Amino acid sequence: LQGALMVASVLALLAGFCGVVGFLMRFIGPLTIAPTITLISLSLFQTAADKGSTQWYICFMTIALVAIFSQYLRNIAIPFPCLKEPLHIFALFPVLLAVILSWVICVVLTETNALPSNSTEWGYAARTDTKINVLRQSSWFRFPYP
């Protein structure tokens, strides 16, 4: 399984570098992409509802941030010193930026003890230190077995 993921990742990188995606986009239009994204999101709805039901305000904040970044801030270009042209970062990474910002807010709420430390109280699921041992115990690099 790990080898298959590595091969699929390398093939995706090669397809992107070689311009295969741009070539295929001439044949794949919005009428193909929209139903595909809809079917994928419908299959993930139950998992998202289960995970989001423990902290609706964090869930709604993340959804609102995605909407704000992708719809209202998409035309704002951020200049970077190492690039010639400013980068439309909100159009490129709206979901990633929303998740990162939500995590930062949860970290601040956890560190200031605004979220309860008792696991039976509402708001505990938004704490970022409840499963920190998973990060401490996991290996950062691991080579798959053949």
User: Does position 23 have pLDDT exceeding 90, yes or no?
Assistant: no
The tokens of 90 are what? 């909100």
User: Does position 1 have pLDDT exceeding 90, yes or no?
Assistant: no
Residues 6+ apart with CB under 8 A from 122: 116
Other Cβ atoms less than 10 A from the Cβ of 126: the count is: 20
Residue 145: inside a domain? no
pLDDT score of 101:
97
pLDDT score of 53:
86
**Is residue 61 located within the same domain as residue 132?**
yes
Q: What's the pLDDT band for 61 if we cut at 50, 70, 90?
A: very high
**Is residue 92 located within the same domain as residue 69?**
yes
Task: With residue 18 as reference, give the H or E element that holds it.
Answer: helix 2-18
Could you tell me the pTM of the whole model?
0.72
The tokens of 71 are what? 């719809």
**3-class DSSP state of 86:** coil
How high is the mean pLDDT of the chain? 89
Q: Which domain holds residue 91?
A: 54-140
CA dist 95 and 69 (Å) reads 8
Q: If you average pLDDT over residues 20-41, what whole number do you get?
A: 88
The more confident residue out of 2 and 14 is 14
pLDDT score of 63:
94
**Is residue 133 located within the same domain as residue 65?**
yes
- What is the domain count for the chain? 2
**Is residue 22 located within the same domain as residue 64?**
no
**Is residue 97 located within the same domain as residue 120?**
yes
Task: With residue 66 as reference, give the H or E element that holds it.
Answer: helix 56-67
CA dist 88 and 77 (Å) reads 4
C-alpha pair distances (Å), 110 with each of 51, 61, 70, 81, 103: 18, 16, 28, 34, 10
User: Does position 146 have pLDDT exceeding 70, yes or no?
Assistant: no
Check if the beta carbon of residue 129 is closer than 8 Å to that of residue 110: yes
User: Does position 78 have pLDDT exceeding 70, yes or no?
Assistant: yes
C-alpha pair distances (Å), 26 with each of 21, 22, 30, 49, 50: 9, 7, 11, 35, 38
Q: What is the pLDDT of residues 81-139, one digit of tens each?
A: 888 999 899 999 999 999 999 999 999 999 999 988 888 888 888 898 888 888 788 88
